[in-house]
Structure 1
Amino acid sequence: MHLNSRFLLIKKGPLKFIFLLLLSFFFTAFANAQQPSSIEKLAAYGYSKRFADSSSCKKMVLQALELAKKKNIIEDEVICYSYLALTQRRLLHLKEFTRYADTAFYLSKKTNKIRAKAFASMAMGSLKSYIDDKPEALNYLLASYKLFAKAGAHDHCAKIASDISYLFSPASPTKVEKYAREALYHASKAGDAESQLYARLAFGSHLTDNLETGTGAKWLEAVHFFKETAAFAEKHSANIVSKSNIGVAYINLADLYSKGPKPIDEKAFLNNLEKATVIAKKYNIKIIYRSAIGLQGFYFTEKGDYTKAEVLFIEGIKYQQSLPYTDNYLLAAFYDCLKDVAAKRKDFEAYHNYDTLYAKYNQLKYNESTQSLLQNADARYESSKKIERIKQLQLENELVQKNKLLGYGIAGVLLIGLVFMFRSYYYRQRYYLNREDILKQEQANSELKVQLMEKETIENLAATLSLERRLLRSQMDPHFIFNALGNIQSMILQKDTMPAVSYLNKFAKLTRQVLEQSRKETISLDEEISTLRNYIELQQLRLNNGFDYTIECDESVETDLLIPPLLIQPFIENAVEHGLKPMEKEIRGLIEIRFTQQIAQKNLVCTIKDNGIGLAASRKLKLKDHHESLSTKITDERLSKMKQENEYAGFVVSERDEEEGSGCIVILNIPIL
């Protein structure tokens, strides 16, 4: 059949045959352009060894890079640099990660090959995600996703669509589902186990995002899906490079069982956690190990089997301490769990010992977190600065090209004639000189922009860190801390053990909440109310229960809405210190807190009333006291910054009406984020 067809083509005419032959050639060349080269395959194979042997992985990718340089193939160089960047992410080397990603992106400007540009955008997207620059990460990953889709690289599309789905969570549930489903589609097209597991985990995350209870059709659907995912991971474990994803499948399934109908399926729950622990120990995956031990310990703590829970957490600590590095985050988490177990067992000596170690590792964890924040800020700045420099180089290349064109134009004019040459040269020279001045001016403006960005970034970072430290100090007044601890000590000496432990737990919880929330951009209203309750109850203890309080929310208020943290507590502190504390002892104090929501203005209104001595009397006492309210001043600064995005942000303090009696009323307008 093939020979007959060929013969017919020849018989119809040589011109038509030649045309079809050329057309076939071009289609074949275009198809081959979309396929990975041998150098890319070598780099990809080296990258696949990142979990088993990181040293061998890096060595093979570098060999592929040297081969690409030797053959002077820019697109393969871009791909090799991208794989090196992703390898450094696995090794947590931010400086090298940034250098390789920037190099890949810079070289990608010199080629029009789709795969090279797709890899460069993927590396930059991964870098931006690593340094918590989510908007830029989405921009680069979406660009990479479109390019890989155009090249028909379904395996890369599946992974990138999954990452995009995670980045859109929880802000845009619709887009989370959209890209999770697209990841499944591309994974099925790719057919490899690595891509399919990656995509299934993303879609499973979408299924569990909106689960509120452990019953119902949605929970059953999620359990069924993750059972299939875990079975798939077990069946194809030899072909799955990212072993951490296998552990994630087990962890997610166990977590679903813990949220299911009571009593939970303990056998299935523990079996999945045991499998996750084996994976974590075998491949040294810290986050899987921490999650597996934590879920088991939490389950046995809730079950009342405190001995087993304590053994699990201690085993986790010993395993971590046996490793050549120290994970302060993991140790702090385990000692915090041990504190809870000791408190429930009423073993106060053990509680004290665990709390001491928890405080030590929690401080180290905080120091590492602060250092990481500074490094990420520096990385974001350096990356932005390099992009500006790339633009400068492009402008310089444009200038060089324009000057070359100028020389060619002059040579052409000389051939036509001396008179015409002189006239043409004059006008062209003036035009290009003006253009050169404009380009130089644009280059100077770009350099000035880089300098301003550097100064602005450093100043903003310093201002933010300063405000965080001042905010943290303002929330934990030393007098309040010493008085609260003094009262707790007094109760212990009077052998009121249970109330003392209760208030000590409240004090520890308040301290932890303030430390954690002072570093968050947003918290839920539920978290804010929980922190306020702990704080007010400790103030009640300090003032010998000399006042009462109420917290109410209108029916229209959604308690899971997000607001800036630690805005309300300073006004409660003022109400207690300057309103209720100076009152006569015969009068019982009262603080009333009420939340209402202004949906159109995207505003939460918090009204705080007290029956204290009032503003006028409080100001007279302040004249004698000379005490400056640092917390209120910082809160005013924070609200002033928020006012740039929400004009309703702010607060008003006034006297209560004479008919209601003495006291103050504070109306605080908090932007809903």
Structure 2
Amino acid sequence: MPTIFTIRSKQARKKYLIFLILLSLLFVSPLQAQSISSVEKIVSLGYAKRFSDTTGSLKIQHQALNLAIKNKSKDDEVICYAYLALTQRRLLHLKEFLHYADTAYYLSKNVQNVRAKAHAAAAMGSLKSYIEDKPQALNYLLKAYQLFSKINAHDQCAKIASDISYLFSPASPPKVEKYAREAMIHAAKSGDPESNLYARLAFGSFLTDKLETGGVVDWEVAVKFFKETVALAEKNADKIISKSNIGIAYINLADLYTKDPKSIDEKAFLMNLEKATTIAKRYNVKIIYRSAIGLQGYYFTQKGDYAKAELLFIEGINYQKKLPYTDNYLLATFYSCLKEVSVKRKDFKAYYAYDTLYTKYNQLKYNEATQSKLQNAEARYESSKKAERIKQLELENELQQKNKLLGYAIAGVLLIGLIFMFRSYYYRQRYYQNREDFLKQEQANSELKVQLMEKETIENLSARLSLERRLLRSQMDPHFIFNALGNIQSMILQKDTIPAVSYLNKFAKLTRQVLEQSRKETISLEEEINTLKNYIELQQLRLNNGFDYVIECDGTIETDILIPPLLIQPFIENAVEHGLKPQENNVRGLIEIYFKEDETKRNLICTIKDNGIGLAASRKLKINDTHQSLSTTITDERLTKMQKENPNAGFTVKEREPETDGQGCIVILNIPILS
């Protein structure tokens, strides 16, 4: 099942957690063990309207805040700021979210009320989760959970324990289970349907994760649990404010039916997706709509009903285009699915059209994601700067208090004698003045350091994201992937089962190797050679075994030496595409790869030879060639960055000598050996 449509899958968990916490975090029930002030009742009433009437919700919350300020109640003021922060999160207003959360938390330091401190900690935890600072998010949410537990605020505890469970996933399954079960216990004590559904979704996520290593019994337990969850949600639908959570329950139950170890219950599967789609359209919840359409489309694709699958994906696109905003992520997802359907239908004209639109929206999606990461990084540093400034103000206040005490001391000394008072005042005043000057200088240095660190970090992050994006694009040519899969499909249709399975295994292994190595800083030479072998053998399949290859290592090289990943494969791609592929049919192609180590310079020298048409002939053909390779530019940039540590890093490309070495091209790579 594709992870893009499975809300509880590991790859989608991070985005889903942000979305789920955004929809229904900390909704306050009027019944709690500790008394609730009239101001908190007003602000919680306004917060409850956040889905149905955003303008009215903010108006009521600001009225509650003004009343708290008028009554000079710092406790109520902190709680109002916490609710306003969470409302701004739902509106995706990061600047206002940051302002209200910081204000609530730092005002809470001067109050003793447990509820106020708990709300402030919960708002800060939500902020840290939103800007992807998971360790800090856990610290604040655990603190809020502890404080709400002290006052038996079970509805709040149920929701915060659920969020903590999500944040511990997938790193710590025991803690995921611990807090999911505690959420269920608190939800039962609260009697609040909203909290109960929230907690059951968290525990259901834990049961779904267990299916990866479980069997039929675990699946039956999970299905039974989600059926009960859906039934409770339908029964209490009028009392549940976050209608999206009901839709999520339907989606998760439908997804479970696709994982049935025996056979899928199509009727139940489609019924739950239909209910989820209805909620998504009524309340405009994008992730539920995307998941419902995607699961249906995937199901009919696997079933072989390509026409129905295509209609579903087109319906999703048309619905999105009618909305007043554009969701580039959703559009890119649907066009990607349409490409897959076109391949299965062998409608290559439609594939080209869908691929063009997919590329457009995928680029826009990437730009939005990059901008979001930069904004989150800026928010993290802004929050850090505020904390530093508050510490500076606390030091200044402490200094002012000490100066007041000094004045009182001087007044007392006047009773003893003028001379002793003068001496005491003079030396003490000079000491504190020097200390004040020192603190001011430290403050100025600290602010300058924070500004420089912020600027440098954001610039480095932007450069790194740009290079990583271009590197990922150059890893595997889409034409190569499509042709390799086409050849494998052709083998299967011709009933060449054994070679088809062999090449399919090689393709799967190559894909996994590329994805894994793109996330690593270093790999061994042995891993690089294995990846090259898989890649070249798939290229041989693609070109009907029209060329041979040789990979040799100098006898002195240890194959466990570490090198940067994915440096060599792009040049093999160039050799095949621009050297061997245009070669005449009567000439047998050959790629030779040799490795030797330069121990004095700590470099691995990789020499790549091909007997293709050569550089000059290749440049003439590139005018009409649609294949574009970014390998030279990206590899040059990567090696340039490596030259700070290893000045010998780099590569050269030249023609082979026709008279002495034969026709073709030579690439010599100087790769740094990393410790």
Contact 1:474 1:630 in 2 (8 A): no
Alignment of 1:583-622 (within 5 A): 615=607
Shift of 1:544: 5.5
Alignment of 1:524-563 (within 5 A): 536=536, 539-540=539-540, 545-547=545-547
Shift of 1:63: 1.0
| 2:112 alignment partner in structure 1 | 112
Shift of 1:183: 1.5
Distance 1:487 1:268, change over 3 A: closer
| 2:166 alignment partner in structure 1 | 166
| 2:463 alignment partner in structure 1 | 463
| 1:316 alignment partner in structure 2 | 316
Q: Distance in 1 between matches of 2:132 and 2:199?
A: 22
SS of aligned partner of 1:228: helix
1:143 maps onto 2:143 in alignment: yes
1:41 maps onto 2:41 in alignment: yes
Contact 1:547 1:590 in 2 (8 A): no
1:393 maps onto 2:390 in alignment: no
1:231 maps onto 2:231 in alignment: yes
Shift of 1:433: 3.5
CA RMSD of aligned residues (A): 4.8
SS of aligned partner of 2:414: helix
Query: Residue deviations 1:5-46, cap 9 Å, x none?
Result: xxxxxxxxxxxxxxxxxxxxxxxxxxx994321111111111
Distance 1:196 1:533, change over 3 A: farther
Query: Residue deviations 1:502-522, cap 9 Å, x none?
Result: 9xxx9xx99xx89x9699857
Q: Distance in 2 between matches of 1:550 and 1:296?
A: 47
Q: Distance in 1 between matches of 2:280 and 2:210?
A: 28
| 1:152 alignment partner in structure 2 | 152
Contact 2:370 2:465 in 1 (8 A): no
| 1:371 alignment partner in structure 2 | 371
1:99 maps onto 2:99 in alignment: yes
Q: Distance in 2 between matches of 1:54 and 1:138?
A: 29
Query: Residue deviations 1:46-65, cap 9 Å, x none?
Result: 11111121121111111111
1:203 maps onto 2:192 in alignment: no
| 2:5 alignment partner in structure 1 | none
Alignment of 1:510-529 (within 5 A): none
Contact 2:593 2:606 in 1 (8 A): no
Q: Distance in 2 between matches of 1:305 and 1:579?
A: 37
Q: Distance in 2 between matches of 1:486 and 1:35?
A: 65
| 1:18 alignment partner in structure 2 | none
> Tell me, which stretches of 5 or more residues in structure 1 are unaligned?
1-31, 552-563, 593-608, 644-649, 651-662
Return 110-119 or 294-303, whichever deviates more. 110-119
**Percentage identity across aligned positions?**
65
Q: Which amino acid in the other structure matches residue 56 of structure 2?
A: S
Query: Residue deviations 1:400-440, cap 9 Å, x none?
Result: 22222222222233345445534543454355345434433
Give TM-score, length-normalised by structure 1. Answer: 0.72
Q: Distance in 1 between matches of 2:377 and 2:117?
A: 26
Contact 1:570 1:631 in 2 (8 A): no
| 1:188 alignment partner in structure 2 | 188
Alignment of 1:20-419 (within 5 A): 34-212=34-212, 215-419=215-419
SS of aligned partner of 1:570: coil
SS of aligned partner of 2:567: helix
Q: Distance in 2 between matches of 1:634 and 1:469?
A: 13
Return 219-228 or 150-159, whichever deviates more. 150-159
* Structure possessing the higher relative contact order (Cα contacts under 8 Å, 6 or more residues apart): 2
Query: Residue deviations 1:158-179, cap 9 Å, x none?
Result: 1111111111111121221122
Query: Residue deviations 1:583-607, cap 9 Å, x none?
Result: 9955766999xxxxxxxxxxxxxxx
Query: Residue deviations 1:270-314, cap 9 Å, x none?
Result: 111111111111111111111111111111111112222222222
Shift of 1:228: 1.2
Query: Residue deviations 1:463-510, cap 9 Å, x none?
Result: 32343255246547xxx78x969999xx9xxx99x99xx9xxx9xx99
Distance 1:546 1:139, change over 3 A: farther
Q: Which amino acid in the other structure matches residue 86 of structure 1?
A: L
Shift of 1:233: 0.9
Contact 1:81 1:104 in 2 (8 A): yes
Contact 2:606 2:669 in 1 (8 A): no
Alignment of 1:570-585 (within 5 A): 570-574=567-571
Contact 2:51 2:242 in 1 (8 A): yes
Distance 1:68 1:90, change over 3 A: same
Contact 2:33 2:152 in 1 (8 A): no
Distance 1:532 1:49, change over 3 A: farther
Distance 1:586 1:299, change over 3 A: closer
| 2:658 alignment partner in structure 1 | none
Shift of 1:261: 2.4
Q: Distance in 2 between matches of 1:255 and 1:485?
A: 29
Distance 1:329 1:533, change over 3 A: farther
Distance 1:359 1:578, change over 3 A: closer
Q: Which amino acid in the other structure matches residue 392 of structure 1?
A: Q
Shift of 1:459: 3.4
Shift of 1:545: 3.0
Contact 2:593 2:609 in 1 (8 A): no
Contact 2:158 2:199 in 1 (8 A): yes
SS of aligned partner of 2:112: coil
Shift of 1:578: 7.0
Shift of 1:143: 2.1
Q: Distance in 2 between matches of 1:628 and 1:325?
A: 37
Query: Residue deviations 1:232-272, cap 9 Å, x none?
Result: 11111111111111111111111111111242111111111
Alignment of 1:473-512 (within 5 A): 475=475
Q: Which amino acid in the other structure matches residue 387 of structure 1?
A: A
Q: Distance in 2 between matches of 1:167 and 1:213?
A: 21
| 1:557 alignment partner in structure 2 | none
Distance 1:320 1:622, change over 3 A: closer
Shift of 1:449: 3.1
Give TM-score, length-normalised by structure 2. Answer: 0.72
Q: Which amino acid in the other structure matches residue 290 of structure 1?
A: R
Contact 1:215 1:260 in 2 (8 A): no
Contact 1:214 1:260 in 2 (8 A): no
Distance 1:290 1:485, change over 3 A: closer
Distance 1:235 1:170, change over 3 A: same
Q: Which amino acid in the other structure matches residue 312 of structure 2?
A: L
Q: Distance in 2 between matches of 1:403 and 1:473?
A: 63
Contact 2:520 2:565 in 1 (8 A): no
| 1:447 alignment partner in structure 2 | 447
Contact 1:166 1:202 in 2 (8 A): yes
Q: Distance in 1 between matches of 2:614 and 2:390?
A: 58
SS of aligned partner of 2:176: helix
| 1:597 alignment partner in structure 2 | none
Q: Distance in 1 between matches of 2:643 and 2:246?
A: 48
| 1:595 alignment partner in structure 2 | none
Q: Distance in 1 between matches of 2:96 and 2:280?
A: 26
Contact 2:332 2:365 in 1 (8 A): yes
Distance 1:591 1:189, change over 3 A: farther
SS of aligned partner of 2:111: coil
Q: Distance in 2 between matches of 1:392 and 1:575?
A: 58
Contact 2:378 2:454 in 1 (8 A): no
Distance 1:570 1:380, change over 3 A: same
Q: Distance in 2 between matches of 1:34 and 1:547?
A: 79
